[in-house]
Amino acid sequence: MTSSDTRSDPKGDPAEQRFLFEGQERLVAACMRGRGRPYQPLSWHAPGAEDGDDVQGDDVAARRREGYGGPAAMRSERAADPNGDYLRTLPPDKAKAYGAALFGTPSHRIEVNLADGVAFMNADGCIAHAEQQLYGDLTRWLRAQMTVVNLAGEVSRKASDDERAARTLPLWRACMKARGFAYKAPGEARAAAFSAYEGVVGVPGGRPGDLDRVRGREISIAVADATCDARVGRTRTLRGLEVQYRRQVMGEHAEQISVYRALRRRAAARLASG
């Protein structure tokens, strides 16, 4: 694996990701129709920030303008799923049958061991059927796919657990406390800001002024967070560590990354040829 490989996205470029996503959704819909079940292909949306530490968390000016993103960020974290909405309207017995058609049943479970646990899928559902059409052997595909899906989280965890990053947390906490915010970590601060919207946005009884008040509180927390982050160098440290650990993690998983890319290329060629 070359150094350029460590910088590129192992999931492929956005155009390929969208092409394969939409192709798979069409296959899932066709399978569900064949089983007498409705299914609306999901709309593609570009991937957002990965889970883990916010690598732009020290941008004070951005936080002053946007806070953490407010309700818009919360909505983007809950992508629209019309099929899930439909499933929730069904009585329990029909919901179970619909779920079995889409996701499969435990009696057909396949699983693979990964570095940080076990991944599994049910091979008799329409999602698995579509993936088998695209990628072939499901066990091989599942191992490669879940390895790549988990790369960013593994990098983020290693960077966050590194003692160089860990040393910045007590300093960040002390800085935040001096500004009136007692949070253990940046993720907790963000979660607290978002949770305040749950009693306001789209909930009966919320007063018109509530949204402005909660939004102001979010921005106050976010600005304090970014100010303290910049002062103690937390995000700056994490950015450097993530470059280091990304190279390490991708090297450790080079074989499965290569399998994943090869299977995706073949799947794209199949779709393109009709």
Q: Which residue has the higher pLDDT, 207 or 89?
A: 89
Residue 224 DSSP SS3: helix
- pLDDT value for 3: 36
What CA–CA distance (Å, rounded) separates 269 from 71?
39
Dihedral sign computed on CA atoms, order 27, 33, 39, 43: positive
Q: Name the band, by pLDDT with cuts 50, 70 and 90, for residue 79.
A: low
Confidence of residue 11 (pLDDT cuts 50, 70, 90): confident
Q: What is the pLDDT of residues 136-175, one digit of tens each?
A: 999 999 999 999 999 999 999 999 999 999 999 999 999 9
Using the predicted structure, report yes or no on whether residue 5 has a pLDDT greater than 70: no
pLDDT, tens digit (0-9, with 9 covering 90-100), for 90-142:
999 999 999 999 999 999 999 999 988 899 999 999 999 999 999 999 999 99
Q: Of the ranges 52-61, 68-77, 181-190, 199-208, which one carries the lowest mean pLDDT score? A: 199-208
Full-model pTM: 0.79
Q: Which residues contact 217 (CB under 8 A, 6 or more apart)?
A: 193, 196
Evaluate the CA torsion angle 158, 162, 164, 169 in order and state its sign.
positive
Confidence of residue 76 (pLDDT cuts 50, 70, 90): low
Asked whether the predicted pLDDT for residue 51 surpasses 80, the reply is no
User: What 3-state class would DSSP assign to 111?
Assistant: strand
The pLDDT value given to residue 201 = 58
